[in-house]
Amino acid sequence: TVFHGTSIYTIITLQAPVVTSIQPEISNPCLVVPPGICVEEGVYTFTLTLPKSNESYTVSYQRCCRNNTITNIVDPGNVGATYTIELTPEAQQVCNSSPSFNNFPPIVICAGEDIDFDFSATDPDGDQLVYEFCAPFKGGGPNTGQPTIPTGVAPDPDLPPPYIPVNFISPPYSPLNPMGGDPQVTIDPATGLITGVPTTLGQFVVGVCVSEYRNGQLLSVLRRDFQFNVTTCDPTVVADIAEDTTVVKQGRTFNVVNACGTTQVTIDNSSYQQQYIENAYWEFFIDGAWQTINQWDATVTLPGVGSYDGQLILNPNTDCGDTAFVQINVFPAIEADFDYDYDTCVAGPVQFTDLSTSGAGPGSIVQWQWDFGEGGTAAVQNPSYTYPEPGYHDVSLTVTDTNSCSATTTRTISYFPVPKTLIISPTTFNGCQPAEIFFDNLSTPINEEYDIWWEFGDGGTSTEISPTHIYQDTGIFTISLSVVSPLGCETDTVFYDWIRVRPSPTAGFSYNPPIVSRFEPTVTFTDQSKDAVKWQWFFPDGTVETLPNVVHTFPDTGMQQVVQVVTHLSGCTDTARALIDVIPDIRYFLPNAFSPNYDGVNDFFRGAGVLDGVQDFHLTIWNRWGELIFESFDPDERWNGRKQNTGAEAPPGIYVVVATMR
C-alpha cells in the first residue's frame, strides 16, 4: 500500500517474488554449521511514478506473524512485521535515491565466536550514511478468521504510519542491545560493521537503521528487519584422547592415562571429525627431550615408573587445527592371588585367603572384590563362603591399590562334600503286593556328579538319585543307600525293615448269559477270584452286593460297567471290571387290515411293539399305483384312512406299508 501522508494513495498488487534459498555461511572456516537451518529470500519488484509533494509518501507491506521460537521480543508468535520506506519531501525535491544494503545478513552465528559482519549500504548519490541498531515495527495480528482486517494476518489495505515498534524483553534485551550479552554486540555508526561475541543461544529479531544525510539534512531512513540465529557450531576438528580421568595444570586440561606394571603404553586417538583431519602426530617429553610419534594411536615406551606429559597435534600450522594434552602415569605392577581351604568331605564354609601383592608397597591394596560363582560376593580381604550346591565353582578376585591399578585372577574350586545324613522318603512303607514305591532322596548336598547306589532288599538296585521300584513279592525288606562324591568321599546308610509288602488277592469273575438284551436283562455273575475273604459288587444302578456269586437285572440298555472288589485276609484288595452291553431289541408289529368307518371299532391303522433305543422312525403307506397316501415320523401317530389324514378317503383295497427304524 502507498500512502500520501496518512491517506491511501494507491494499492499495488505484487507479482510472485523471485525466491532464493540462502545457504548458511560462517566466517570461521574451522567451524561446521549444524544441519536443519533454512532461510529463503523473496524479492518483490514494481515500478510506480509519483508526483512531487510537500508530504511524505510511505510504501508499506504488513504481515503476521513471526516465529514462536524468537528469544528477545514479547509474544513473537502473535506479533507481525511492517516493511516500510518513507519518501520525504526533501528526498522528492532532489530526486534522491535511497541506499541499498550490500550483503545479506548471516542466517547463523556461532555462539562464543567472533562476529565480524559488514552491514554497510551503498548510496548512488554518495550521501552520508549513519548506522544504528533500532526497533523493528509491528504489523498485522494473529486473526486468521478475518485475515484482511487491521488485526488480521495479512491486513488489506495495510495500515498507515506511524508504526509501533516491537516490545523487547527487558532486561536483558533492547533495540540497541537486541542480542543481550555483556559486552554487547555493536554496530559501527560510520561503517555499519557489526562486531562482538554472542554468548546466548536463540533466535533474535534485529533492526538496523541507515539514516541518509546530504549537507547535514536528513533525506531518508532505511530500516532493515531481520533475524539472527545463534547456535552451537561444531569445530571441524577436535583433538580427543581416550582417558581414565582428567587433570588441570598450567591452565590446560590433561587427559590422564594410567599404566600399571608396564612401560609400553598405547594411547587411543578419539579425535573427530576425521574427514577434516589431514595430519596428526604425537609428542612426548621423555628424559628431558621431546619424542615424536607419527601414528594415529600412539604406542610409546617409557623408561620406568613415573609421570610423563605429551600432546596430540592435529593439522599443525593450519587455521583448523587442534591440540589435546596427555599425562601418562606409569605405576608399579599389581598381582591378584588367593588360596582357599575347606573340608572336602563335609559340607561347610570355604575359607579364602588373599595373597595379592602390589609394587606400590605393603598396605597399598585397598579394595577387594570377590565373586564366588553362584551370585555370592564379598568385599573383605579374607572372606568365608558356604556354597548352597555342590559343583565346580569359578571364584574370581579383583584387587585395587592406592594408584587405582587393579588385577583379577580366577580359580576353580571342586566343592563336592557328601551329606552328613542320608534322608529318604517314605520313612516307612506298609503296602500291598505289587508295591510301586518312589524313593525320594532328600539328602543334601548331592547332584548328578555323585555316584549313587541303592539296594532294595529283593535283589533290585538303582543308580538314580531318586528311583522308583516295584516289589513283586511279599515280605519285609531292608533298604541301603550309598553316596560317593567326585572327590572320593563316601557315606552310606542301611534302613532296616523299611518296607513291608502284604499279599493281595486276585479279582475275577464270569457272567451268563454272554449276550444280554432288553428282553433278557437278568445276568448271573460267578466269582473266579483267588485268596479273597470278602467280596463287593458295584452295579451302575447303585446296587451293591457282598456275596461271592450274585444275580442282577439291568433296568436300562446300553453299556453297563460292573465292578468287583475283593479283599485278602491281609486287608489288601484287588479290583476287576467288565463292560456289559445290554442290547436294546426292537419288536414292531403292523396290522394287516382296519375299517375306518368311525364305528368305534378298528377305525385307525397304527403299529405296536417295543422300540427301546430307536432314534429315527419313518412309516409310509402307498397305493397300488405307487402314490404316497400317508407318511409319519412318529411311531404313535395313527392313519385314519384319509390322504395324509386330512384329504379324501382312500378306497378299500390293498396298500403297501413300509416301516424303517434306526
Q: How far is CA 204 from CA 80, 107, 581, in A?
A: 14, 11, 100
Collapsed DSSP state (helix, strand, coil) of residue 623: coil
Yes or no: domain 509-583 corresponds to CATH 1.10.10.10: no
Residues, the chain = 662
pLDDT at 28 over 70: no
Percent of the chain with pLDDT strictly greater than 70: 98
Q: What is the pLDDT of residues 626-652, one digit of tens each?
A: 999 999 999 999 999 999 999 899 999
Lowest mean pLDDT, pick from 126-135, 190-199, 580-589: 580-589
Please give the Cα distance from 344 to 338 (Å, whole number).
18
pLDDT digits (tens, 9 = 90+) for 361-372: 999 999 999 999
Statement: residue 29 has pLDDT above 70: no
Name the more confident of 22 and 7.
7
DSSP 96: P
DSSP for 392-428, please give it: EEEEEEEEEETTS-EEEEEEEEEE-PBPSS--EE-S-
Q: Do β-strands 490-502 and 429-432 pair in parallel, antiparallel, or remain unpaired?
A: parallel
Average pLDDT of the segment spanning 592-598: 92
Q: What is the pLDDT of residue 182?
A: 85
Q: How far is CA 534 from CA 1, 82, 509, 527, 529, in A?
A: 123, 117, 14, 11, 10
pLDDT at 25 over 70: no
Extract long-range pairs of 376-382: CB within 8 Å, 24+ residues apart.
Answer: 381/354, 382/351, 382/352, 382/353, 382/354
Q: Report pLDDT for 35.
A: 66
Cβ-Cβ contacts under 8 Å for 86 (sequence gap 6 or more)? 56, 57, 58, 161, 220, 221
Task: Give kind and range of the element (H or E) at residue 559.
Answer: strand 558-567
Q: Is the pLDDT of residue 386 over 70?
A: yes
Instruction: Please identify, in words, the CATH class of the domain defined by 2-234.
Output: mainly beta
Residue 26: per-residue pLDDT: 56
Q: Which of 610 and 93 is assigned the larger pLDDT? A: 93
Query: How far apart, in whole angstroms, are the C-alpha atoms of residue 620 and residue 634?
Result: 11
Dihedral pair phi/psi, residue 172, rounded to 5°: -100, 5
The per-residue pLDDT for range 546-563, each reduced to its tens digit, is: 999 999 999 988 899 999
Nearest CA among 96, 181, 185 for reference residue 133: 185
Distance (Å, rounded) from C-alpha 632 to C-alpha 621? 9
All CATH 2.60.40.10 domain ranges in the chain, comma separated: 2-234, 236-331, 334-415, 424-500, 509-583
**Short-list 161, 201, 209, CA closest to 179:** 201
Mean pLDDT of 232-236: 77
pLDDT at residue 33, rounded to an integer? 62
Residue 581: pLDDT over 80: yes
* 334 Cβ contact partners less than 8 Å away, ≥ 6 residues apart: 260, 261, 356, 357, 358, 359, 360, 365, 399, 400, 401, 405, 406, 407
Topology classification of domain 236-331: Immunoglobulin-like (2.60.40)
**Average confidence (pLDDT) over 461-465:** 98
Classify burial at 439, counting beta carbons within 10 Å of its beta carbon; exposed 0-12, middle 13-18, buried 19 or more: buried
Q: Which of 78-82, 301-305, 582-586 has the lowest mean pLDDT?
A: 582-586
Banded pLDDT at 55 (limits 50, 70, 90): very high
Burial of 500 (0-12, 13-18, 19+ CB in 10 A): middle
Cell of 27: 566466517
Ranges 21-25, 471-475, 594-598, most confident: 471-475
585 pLDDT exceeds 80? no
Q: Regarding the domain delimited by 424-500, which CATH topology (the fold level of the hierarchy) does it fall under?
A: Immunoglobulin-like (2.60.40)
Q: Flag whether pLDDT at 318 surpasses 80.
A: no
Radius of gyration in angstroms for the set of CA atoms belonging to the chain, rounded to a whole number: 56
Task: Provide the pLDDT for residue 163.
Answer: 95
Least confident of 5-19, 117-131, 255-269, 464-478: 5-19
- The CATH T-level fold of domain 334-415 is Immunoglobulin-like (2.60.40)
List the single range of 132-136, 178-182, 303-307, 393-397 with lowest mean pLDDT. 178-182
pLDDT confidence tier of residue 483, bands split at 50, 70 and 90: very high
Checking if the pLDDT of 260 tops 90, the result is yes
Q: What is the pLDDT of residue 189?
A: 97
pLDDT at position 389 is 92
pLDDT attached to residue 619: 95
Per-residue pLDDT reduced to its tens digit, 339-353 = 999 999 999 999 999
Q: pLDDT band for position 283 (50/70/90)?
A: very high
Percent helix, strand, coil in the chain (nearest 5)?
0, 50, 50
Q: pLDDT band for position 203 (50/70/90)?
A: very high
User: What confidence tens digit (pLDDT) does each residue in 514-546 have?
Assistant: 999 888 899 999 999 999 999 999 999 999 999
Alpha-carbon distances, residue 501 vs 258, 441, 567 (angstroms): 76, 21, 15
pLDDT, average across residues 55-84: 94
Q: Decide if pLDDT at 194 tops 80.
A: yes
134, pLDDT greater than 70: yes
Residue 91 backbone phi and psi in degrees, to 5 = -65, -35
- The C-alpha cell that represents 393 in the structure block: 565353582
Produce one character per residue of 319-355: b if its CB has 16 or more CB atoms within 10 Å, e if not. ebbbebbbbbbbbbebebebeeebeeeebeebebebe
Report d(CA 400, CA 368) in Å as an integer.
7
Q: Is the pLDDT of residue 234 over 80?
A: no
Mean pLDDT rounded to a whole number for the chain = 93
pLDDT at residue 512 in the model: 97
Q: Are strands 252-260 and 322-331 parallel, antiparallel or unpaired?
A: parallel
**Confidence (pLDDT) at 106:** 85
Task: Name the more confident of 377 and 36.
Answer: 377
Q: Are 72 and 173 in contact (CB under 8 A)?
A: yes
The x, y and z cell numbers of residue 143, run together, are 486473526
Q: State which H helix or E strand residue 577 sits in.
A: strand 573-583
Mean pLDDT of 567-585: 94
Q: Does domain 586-662 have CATH number 1.10.1240?
A: no
